[in-house]
Protein backbone atom coordinates (compact mmCIF):
# COMPACT_ATOMS: atom_id res chain seq x y z
CA UNK A 1 0.00 0.00 0.00
CA UNK A 2 2.88 2.40 0.75
CA UNK A 3 4.13 2.00 -2.83
CA UNK A 4 0.82 3.26 -4.19
CA UNK A 5 1.23 6.50 -2.22
CA UNK A 6 4.81 7.11 -3.36
CA UNK A 7 3.99 8.91 -6.66
CA UNK A 8 1.54 11.19 -4.83
CA UNK A 9 4.13 12.04 -2.18
CA UNK A 10 6.79 12.69 -4.84
CA UNK A 11 4.34 14.88 -6.79
CA UNK A 12 3.59 16.93 -3.67
CA UNK A 13 7.32 17.33 -3.05
CA UNK A 14 7.87 18.63 -6.61
CA UNK A 15 5.03 21.13 -6.20
CA UNK A 16 6.51 22.22 -2.86
CA UNK A 17 9.92 22.54 -4.53
CA UNK A 18 8.48 24.71 -7.28
CA UNK A 19 6.73 26.92 -4.74
CA UNK A 20 9.91 27.26 -2.67
CA UNK A 21 12.03 28.11 -5.72
CA UNK A 22 9.45 30.64 -6.89
CA UNK A 23 9.36 32.19 -3.42
CA UNK A 24 13.16 32.42 -3.48
CA UNK A 25 12.96 34.43 -6.70
CA UNK A 26 13.69 31.77 -9.30
CA UNK A 27 11.83 31.52 -12.61
CA UNK A 28 9.14 28.86 -12.26
CA UNK A 29 6.49 28.80 -15.00
CA UNK A 30 4.10 26.15 -13.71
CA UNK A 31 3.15 24.18 -10.63
CA UNK A 32 2.61 20.83 -12.28
CA UNK A 33 3.65 17.82 -10.20
CA UNK A 34 6.27 16.79 -12.79
CA UNK A 35 9.96 17.67 -12.61
CA UNK A 36 10.48 19.44 -15.92
CA UNK A 37 13.69 20.80 -17.44
CA UNK A 38 13.04 24.43 -16.43
CA UNK A 39 12.48 23.37 -12.79
CA UNK A 40 15.61 21.24 -12.82
CA UNK A 41 17.54 24.19 -14.26
CA UNK A 42 16.19 26.56 -11.57
CA UNK A 43 17.04 23.97 -8.92
CA UNK A 44 20.61 23.65 -10.22
CA UNK A 45 20.97 27.44 -10.29
CA UNK A 46 19.67 27.69 -6.71
CA UNK A 47 22.08 24.98 -5.56
CA UNK A 48 25.00 26.74 -7.24
CA UNK A 49 23.98 30.12 -5.77
CA UNK A 50 23.90 28.57 -2.29
CA UNK A 51 27.25 26.82 -2.65
CA UNK A 52 25.66 23.38 -2.76
CA UNK A 53 26.39 20.52 -5.14
CA UNK A 54 24.58 21.75 -8.28
CA UNK A 55 23.23 18.33 -9.25
CA UNK A 56 19.69 19.38 -10.10
CA UNK A 57 18.47 16.72 -7.66
CA UNK A 58 16.43 17.70 -4.61
CA UNK A 59 18.54 16.44 -1.71
CA UNK A 60 18.30 17.06 2.03
CA UNK A 61 20.81 19.95 2.00
CA UNK A 62 18.81 21.71 -0.72
CA UNK A 63 15.53 21.15 1.13
CA UNK A 64 17.08 22.70 4.23
CA UNK A 65 18.34 25.75 2.30
CA UNK A 66 14.90 26.20 0.75
CA UNK A 67 13.21 25.86 4.16
CA UNK A 68 11.28 22.78 3.10
CA UNK A 69 10.30 20.73 6.16
CA UNK A 70 8.52 17.38 6.27
CA UNK A 71 4.80 17.55 6.89
CA UNK A 72 5.19 15.65 10.17
CA UNK A 73 7.65 18.27 11.47
CA UNK A 74 5.43 21.13 10.40
CA UNK A 75 2.37 19.54 11.98
CA UNK A 76 4.11 18.83 15.25
CA UNK A 77 5.23 22.46 15.51
CA UNK A 78 1.65 23.69 15.55
CA UNK A 79 1.01 22.09 18.93
CA UNK A 80 4.41 22.85 20.40
CA UNK A 81 5.38 25.29 23.12
CA UNK A 82 4.90 28.34 20.86
CA UNK A 83 1.21 27.55 20.54
CA UNK A 84 0.98 26.90 24.26
CA UNK A 85 2.61 30.21 25.14
CA UNK A 86 0.24 32.07 22.87
CA UNK A 87 -2.74 30.34 24.39
CA UNK A 88 -1.36 30.82 27.89
CA UNK A 89 -0.73 34.52 27.39
CA UNK A 90 -4.21 35.05 26.05
CA UNK A 91 -5.80 33.45 29.09
CA UNK A 92 -3.56 35.18 31.61
CA UNK A 93 -4.14 38.62 30.13
CA UNK A 94 -0.46 39.43 29.54
CA UNK A 95 0.51 39.72 25.89
CA UNK A 96 3.85 39.03 24.24
CA UNK A 97 5.73 42.10 22.93
CA UNK A 98 4.89 41.20 19.32
CA UNK A 99 1.22 40.83 20.21
CA UNK A 100 1.32 44.19 22.00
CA UNK A 101 2.77 45.84 18.89
CA UNK A 102 0.01 44.37 16.72
CA UNK A 103 -2.61 45.45 19.24
CA UNK A 104 -1.10 48.95 19.34
CA UNK A 105 -1.36 49.17 15.55
CA UNK A 106 -4.98 48.05 15.71
CA UNK A 107 -5.64 50.67 18.41
CA UNK A 108 -4.17 53.51 16.30
CA UNK A 109 -7.53 54.76 15.10
CA UNK A 110 -8.23 58.43 15.55
CA UNK A 111 -11.10 60.66 14.63
CA UNK A 112 -10.10 63.08 11.88
CA UNK A 113 -10.75 66.86 11.90
CA UNK A 114 -13.69 66.40 9.57
CA UNK A 115 -15.39 63.98 11.96
CA UNK A 116 -14.44 60.90 9.89
CA UNK A 117 -12.24 58.07 11.05
CA UNK A 118 -8.74 57.37 9.80
CA UNK A 119 -6.49 54.40 10.34
CA UNK A 120 -2.76 54.79 10.96
pLDDT digits (tens, 9 = 90+) for 44-65: 999 999 999 999 999 999 999 9
DSSP 34: S
Tens digits of per-residue pLDDT, 90-109? 444 555 555 655 555 555 55
Q: Which conformational region is residue 105 in: left (phi greater than 0), alpha (psi within -120 to 50 degrees), or beta?
A: alpha
Domains, the chain, ordered by start: 2-68 (1.10.101), 72-106 (no CATH)
Answer whether residue 28 shows pLDDT above 60: yes
Using a 10 angstrom Cβ sphere, with 0-12 exposed, 13-18 middle and 19 or more buried, the burial of residue 120 is exposed
Q: How far is CA 70 from the centre of its chain?
A: 12
Q: What is the pLDDT of residue 1?
A: 43
Angle at 48 between CA 9 and CA 32, to 5 degrees: 30
Q: What is the pLDDT of residue 74?
A: 61
Q: What is the pLDDT of residue 2?
A: 47
Which is higher by pLDDT, 1 or 70?
Answer: 70
Answer whether residue 39 shows pLDDT above 90: yes
Contact 74, 67 (CB under 8 A): no
**pTM of the predicted structure, to 2 decimals:** 0.54
Percent pLDDT > 90 in the chain is 42
Selection from 33, 34, 64 nearest residue 47 by Cα: 64
Amino acid sequence: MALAAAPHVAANEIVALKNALYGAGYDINNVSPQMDESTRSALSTFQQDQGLNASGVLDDATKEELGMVPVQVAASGSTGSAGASRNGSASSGSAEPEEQAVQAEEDDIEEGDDGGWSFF
